[in-house]
Amino acid sequence: MTRIADLLAAGPTYSFEFFPPKSDRELKVLSQTLLELQPLGPSFVSVTYRGGAASRQRTQDLVTGMLHTSTLVPMAHLVCVAHTRLELAEILVSLRKAGVENVLALGGDPTAADDGSPRELAYAVQLVELARAIGGFSIGVAAHPAGHPASPDLRSDRDRLAEKLALADFAITQFFFEPDEYLGLVADLAERGVRKPVLPGIMPVTSLRSVPRMAAMGAAVPAWMESRLVEADATGGAEAVRRCGIELATELCRAVLAAGAPGLHFYTLNQSGATREIYLALGLAPKAIAAGAG
């Protein structure tokens, strides 16, 4: 079973996200991370896409490499920006020929490769339609608990998400920090008659330096959480902040799972430590690994 829609239908999924390396040093780090995380037995893994021909090839190479040299079930990200409809169709056909069955269809942010000209596919829903027309894919889309930054308001954001999910199989959220953000998103979709699986995206805050970066990425750390991290720093320094961030992320995971989330999706930033610790704390790791960690 390698289609994510089928995996979700069978029960909760637990997945990891990576980005393709741009250098030999990044490749070495990612290779070590994959070595450390593969034994945890994730349901699937996703590989991001930065846009442009070089990133496209790195994403495809990493996804197909995982497919043919590991036990991992990979999902390729694909974005509309900087590509014509024909190019996107060619990429999708190439992925299917390589045996890839899972894609995450994204609108994408402007890149250096984007000359500002109008896109042939302006919205992610159009990419979902194209992937459906080509056939053979289990298709995911992105969801933003606080609303996409480009959306004029939360209601219209939810309307667009409902349109995407009417065609796609599942959604994965941007990271967030409070259970009500995720639960509100799911409730808003249910009001629109959409009950497709929505996987909560989890990214632990393990340093104070990352707090402003989170806001720039579209999910600000709430004041109460920042206070907890600052207090940890005052009492135990950087390592205490790291432990506090992992504990808070673990609490968030427990809360959304208890509320019925269909699994968890971890943004790893190509590092294994925090994800491994959360995974073990939640009791998700295979027994042999959990026993070794203990």
Tokens of residue 107, six digits: 């609108």
CA angle 113, 50, 204 (to 5 degrees): 145
DSSP string computed for 195-217 = ---EEEEE----STTHHHHHHHT
Q: Which of 17, 101, 181, 277 is catalytic?
A: 17
Active site residue 17: yes
Largest CA distance in the chain: 57
Helix H segments across the chain? 4-10, 24-37, 53-69, 85-97, 124-134, 154-167, 179-191, 210-216, 223-258, 273-281, 287-293
Give bridge partners of residue 75 from the DSSP assignment.
Answer: 46
- Assess contact for 165 and 199: CB atoms under 8 A: no
Q: At what angle do helices 223-258 and 273-281 cross, to 10 degrees?
A: 50
Q: Which amino acid is at 105?
A: A
Sorted by sequence, the CB contacts under 8 Å of residue 173 that are 6+ apart come out as 142, 143, 144, 145, 182, 185, 198, 199, 200, 201, 265
Residue 147 contacts residue 157 (beta carbons within 8 Å): yes
Supply the Cα-derived Rg of the chain in whole angstroms. 19
Residue 14 β-bridge partners? 264
Residues classed as catalytic: 17
